[in-house]
Amino acid sequence: MNQQRLQTLSGFGGSGTLAADRNRVLRNTYWLLALSMVPTVLGAWVGVQTGFARAMSPGIGLIVFLAGAFGFMFAIEKFKNSAAGVPILLGFTFFMGLMLSRLISVVLATSGPGVVMTAFGGTAGVFFVMASLSSVIKRDLGNMGKFLTVGALMLFVAMIANFFLQSSALMIVVAVLGMGIFSAFILYDLKRVRDGGETNYITATLGVYLSVFNVFQFMLALLGMGGGGDD
């Protein structure tokens, strides 16, 4: 009887510890995600003011973006369990803001700052809805990740193709699908943290950040297309 009681108490204690760990990872993810917006905005401001991204040709810009993004993500994964993980992640978000400044500059010139703020507010709304859904949905969304990954890969191929085709119609399709896919990724990543599928808050933040970044980028591109052409 005593042994059974100890096992029962141990089980409750284990569940409580597990729940506390999940809440801690989720809380740290939200805090780090909020903090990551600061260097992103700073990077975008520096890029707009200096014209850094626009000074590069589209081809060179794509190469720099891919090399920098994958290089940072490799470093983040390598140092995610050390004190260097957070500064590297924040450096990555500054870089992403810097590279985003090309699109922001075009939208500011053709549509004005109101479109940028609308995209920002819309992205915040998407995040709030997805975060809320992740807290109320009880079913396991593990299988959802496979479909989203395939969708993201197809979207990436379409983006590369449109880099050469320069089709406005294809750009609209890509932007709409991109917002849908990465909105779902926000839900999927946050649900994984809540369910204990992701236990490292730096990795969790990276995944959610990339999804939020892409939702904003696609929304901004879509809204900006109504304000004029590229210059």
- Supply the pTM of this predicted model: 0.87
What confidence score (pLDDT) does residue 53 get? 84
Residue 28 resides in a domain? yes
Residue 40 resides in a domain? yes
- Residue 65's domain comprises 21-227
Greater confidence, 55 or 92?
Answer: 92
- Those residues with Cβ within 8 angstroms of residue 5's Cβ, 6 or more apart along the chain or in another chain: none
pLDDT tier at 175, thresholds 50, 70, 90: very high
* 167-188 average pLDDT score: 93
Closest CA to 220 of 103, 98, 53, 110: 103
CA atoms within 13 A on the CB side of 65: 17
CA atoms within 13 A on the CB side of 213: 26
Asked whether the predicted pLDDT for residue 139 surpasses 50, the reply is yes
Question: Burial of 16 by CB count in 10 Å (0-12 exposed, 13-18 middle, 19+ buried)?
Answer: exposed
Q: Give the single-character DSSP code of 177.
A: H
Asked whether the predicted pLDDT for residue 226 surpasses 50, the reply is yes
Residue 16 resides in a domain? no
The total of other beta-carbon atoms located within 10 Å of residue 8's CB is 10
- Domain count of the fold of the chain: 1
What confidence score (pLDDT) does residue 68 get? 95
CA 144 to chain centre: 17
Q: C-alpha dihedral over 14, 16, 22, 23, to 10 degrees?
A: -160
State the Cα–Cα distance between residues 154 and 157, nearest whole angstrom: 5
Q: Give the single-character DSSP code of 160.
A: H
Asked whether the predicted pLDDT for residue 97 surpasses 70, the reply is yes
- Those residues with Cβ within 8 angstroms of residue 75's Cβ, 6 or more apart along the chain or in another chain: 88
Closest CA to 202 of 30, 109, 86, 52: 86
